[in-house]
Chains A and B, each alone.
Chain A
Amino acid sequence: MLNVEGVSRRRAGRAAVSDLSFSLNAGEVMGLLGVNGAGKSTSLAMLAGALKPDTGGIRLRGEDFVAHPRLARHLIGWLPENAPCWPELSVEEHLVAFSRLRGATRPGSRRATDAIVERLRLGDLRRRLAGVLSQGQRQRLGLACALVHEPALIILDEPANALDPVQVGELRRLIRERAAAGAAVILSTHVLAEVLAVCDRVAILHEGRLRHDAPLRGDEGAATLEATFFAIATGAAA
Chain B
Amino acid sequence: MSAMAVARLELRRLAVRPLAWALAALTIAWLAWTFILGLGQFLGAQVKLAAVADAPGFTDLVAIPLLAELAKLAFLVVPLMTMTQLAGERRGGTLALLASTGLSPRHIVIGKYIAVLAWLGLWLLATLAMPLAVGAESTADWGKLAAATLGTALLLATLAAIGIACSAATSFPAIAAAMALIVTLILWTIDRGAQAAGVTGGFLEWLTMATHLQNLLRGLVVTSDLVWFALAIALSLALAIRRLGADRERQ
Contact = CB atoms under 8 A, between A and B. Distances in A.
Given A97-B9, A97-B12, A101-B2, A76 B100 contact: yes
> How extensive is the interface on chain B, given as a class?
20 to 34
B67 interface: no
A51 B6 CA distance: 20
Contact of A11 (B17, B102, B251): B251
Interface residues of A, number: 30
A84 B90 CA distance: 10
Interface stretch (B91-99, B113-121, B233-241): B91-99
Interface string A97-124: 1101111000000000000000000000
Interface string A71-88: 111101010101011101
Contacts of B249: 52
Contacts of B100: 48-50, 72, 76, 78, 80
Contacts of B97: 50, 78, 80, 84, 145
A112 to B, nearest CB: 14
Highest count of chain A CB atoms <10 Å: which of B5, B97, B103, B104: B97
B13 A101 contact: no
Contact of B102 (A93, A100, A102, A145): A102
Most A CB contacts (10 A, CB to CB) among B93, B98, B100, B248 go to B100
Contacts of A84: 92-94, 96-97
A6 interface: no
A76 B103 CA distance: 12
Interface in B170-199: none
Given A100-B5, A101-B6, A71 B93 contact: no
Classify the secondary structure of B's interface with A. Answer: helix
Contacts of B9: 97, 100-101
Contacts of A97: 5, 8-9, 12
Nearest to B92: A84
Contacts of A52: 248-249
Given A86-B13, A97-B12, A69 B102 contact: yes
A70 interface: yes
A48 B101 CA distance: 8
B222 interface: no
A93 B13 CA distance: 10
Nearest to B15: A88
A32 B123 CA distance: 50
Interface in A13-31: none
Given A70-B102, A100-B5, A88 B94 contact: no
A88 B13 contact: yes
Interface of B: 2, 5-6, 8-9, 12-13, 16-17, 92-94, 96-104, 248-249, 251
Interface of A: 11, 45, 48-52, 69-74, 76, 78, 80, 82, 84-86, 88-89, 93, 97-98, 100-103, 145
